[in-house]
C-alpha cells in the first residue's frame, strides 16, 4: 500500500511525498518497491517501451503528457473519468463556498483528528457476464465487499499514524 501526498509548489510544479507500507507479517518486499532506480517520478513503473506506453498508458504517461496547466476543453473524457469530474465539481463547489464566506463541505477544524480516507489501489478482475445490468450489479457487489473488508481493518488509524 502507498500513501501519497501531492503538494502544489506553484501554478505548474508539484512535490510528491510517498510512504510505502510493506507488510512485515508477509515478509515480502517486492523488488520494484525496494529499488527506486527502476521507477519513474510519481512511484510508477515505466512502460516496457514507448509503444507500450502509447497503447496502454498508465498514470505516469497521462501525467507527463499534460501541459503545465491543463486545458480541460482539450480532454477526451470517458466513462472511467466520472470520478475525476465528480472531484472537479466538488472542488468548484468548495471554492464557491469559500468565496461566499462559507466553509467548504467536509472541512474539519479539529487539528488532532485523523480523517480516514479509505482509499486504496485494489484491482479485481471479473469476467464479463454479457448482460450490462448484471455486470453493473456484480461490480457494485464486489466493490461493496471490498469496501466493507477495508473498513473492518483500515490502515494507519492507530496512534503511530497520528504521531
Kindly report, residue by residue over 46-102, the tens digit of the pLDDT.
778 889 888 888 877 877 787 888 888 888 888 888 888 999 999 999 999 999 999
pLDDT at res. 163: 39
Evaluated on CA atoms 19, 24, 26, 30, the torsion sign reads: positive
Distance, first Cα to last Cα, the chain: 19
Task: Look at residue 159 and tell me whether its pLDDT is greater than 50.
Answer: no
Residue that has been written with the C-alpha cell 498508465 in this structure: 58
CA distance 56 to 49: 10
Residue where the block lists cell 523488488? 31
- Distance, in Å, from the CA atom of 104 to the CA atom of 44, rounded to the nearest integer, reads 32
Rounded average pLDDT over 17-24: 72
CA distance 122 to 143: 10
Percent above pLDDT 70 for the chain: 74
Q: What is the mean pLDDT of residues 117-123?
A: 69
Give the burial string for 64-80 (b: 16+ CB within 10 Å, else e): eeeeeeeeeeeeeeeee
DSSP 44: B
- Record the pTM: 0.47
Amino acid at each position: 500500500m502507498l500513501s501519497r501526498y501531492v503538494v502544489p509548489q506553484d501554478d505548474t510544479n508539484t512535490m510528491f511525498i510517498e510512504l510505502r507500507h510493506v507488510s512485515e507479517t508477509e515478509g515480502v518486499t517486492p523488488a520494484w518497491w525496494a529499488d527506486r532506480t527502476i521507477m519513474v517520478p510519481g512511484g510508477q513503473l515505466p512502460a516496457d517501451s514507448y509503444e507500450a506506453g502509447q497503447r496502454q498508458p498508465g498514470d505516469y504517461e497521462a501525467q507527463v503528457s499534460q501541459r503545465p496547466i491543463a486545458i480541460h476543453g482539450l480532454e477526451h473524457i470517458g466513462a472511467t473519468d466520472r470520478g475525476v469530474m465528480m472531484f472537479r465539481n466538488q472542488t468548484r463547489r468548495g471554492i464557491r463556498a469559500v468565496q461566499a464566506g462559507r466553509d467548504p463541505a467536509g472541512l474539519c477544524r479539529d487539528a488532532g483528528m485523523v480523517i480516514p480516507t479509505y482509499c486504496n489501489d485494489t484491482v479485481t478482475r471479473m469476467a464479463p457476464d454479457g448482460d450490462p445490468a448484471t455486470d453493473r450489479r456484480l461490480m457494485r457487489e464486489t466493490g461493496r465487499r471490498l469496501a466493507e473488508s477495508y473498513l473492518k481493518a483500515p490502515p494507519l488509524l492507530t496512534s503511530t499514524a497520528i504521531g
